[in-house]
Amino acid sequence: MQRIFNFAQTQNFRELGGYPTSDGNYLRWHKILRAGYLSALTPEELNYLKNYGLRYSFDLRSPYERQNWPDPQVDFLTLYQQQLYDVDSQPIGEKLYQTLPAKQQFDGLAGIYQKVVLDHHSQQIFHNFFQLLLANQQPNESVVFHCSAGKDRTGILAILLLLVLHVPVDYITQDYLLTNLMYTHAVDLSYLNNPNDRTIQAMNFTPADKSCVTAIQIALTTVYGSLDNFEQTILGFSPTKKQLFLQLYTTSTEEHNLDD
């Protein structure tokens, strides 16, 4: 199975299947994909993704980004437009961020990530995403979640998702930092420009930093007491729903070895 899709003009399109979990399972292939913008996918690449099982796109971008670089309009793909950053809500997550002890408040990109995961608007988007995943119960039908670069908004959601799926932090960090390799040879980065939101634009051009994973963990466990409590309070996961979620998106070692 492949981790990275080598598309002609679409960088950072990746599969999240195959990562091990702390409870001895593995993430299922053909279920969860992450990406940057999708508008440069060719007809051949879209047909490949259709056969791969892609059925849903969860778009975290702003209206400006969606207007200038729209998702492909194809009959097999259902589009969900879910802007992660609410530019009318300033500053993002600042109140809860300020409740963190000073030594647990990160600076720079990691600090922004903490504010995002504590922001009420962003948390509603997290809730919507996880409810979509719960509803996607057909085998080998994939959801792709994406922004423009596939680094920050996508990265935050990927970190959160992998934590909920019990993937060890070392693997989460490894997946997050893969983004830095995806743009090494990219020529056209115009889609990362966002004159309507300078914060997003600056983040798009800032390399991924491994401290961001730790920052998110600390913010959630400090404010909510535990990841389990965050899942119940914000994501709407009862113990029954959490068990269903793990069944849908993880598989045993034996099944994983057969897939490989």
pLDDT tens-place string over residues 25-41: 999 999 999 999 999 99
Summarize the confidence of residues 170-179 as an average pLDDT. Answer: 91
The residue type of 258 is L
Is 140 part of a structural domain of the chain? Answer: yes
Q: Which residue has the tokens 């997290």?
A: 126
Is 257 part of a structural domain of the chain? Answer: no
Give the whole-angstrom CA distance, residue 194 versus residue 201: 5
- From residue 113, how far is each of 35, 109, 131, 234 by CA, in Å? 18, 6, 22, 17
Q: Yes or no: say if 20 and 46 are a contact pair by the CB < 8 Å rule.
A: no
Is 258 part of a structural domain of the chain? Answer: no
Least Cα distance to 166 among 249, 239, 232 occurs for 249
At residue 201, the pLDDT reads 47
pLDDT tens-place string over residues 78-100: 999 999 987 666 566 788 889 89
Least Cα distance to 257 among 62, 73, 18 occurs for 18
Is 8 part of a structural domain of the chain? Answer: no
**Domain housing 238:** 14-249
Strand 54-59 versus strand 32-35 pairing type: unpaired
CATH of the domain at 27: 3.90.190.10
Q: How many domains does the chain have?
A: 1
Torsion region of 9: left, alpha or beta (phi above 0 gives left; psi -120 to 50 gives alpha)? alpha
What pTM, to 2 d.p., does this model score? 0.90
Q: What are phi and psi of 120, to 5 degrees?
A: -65, -40
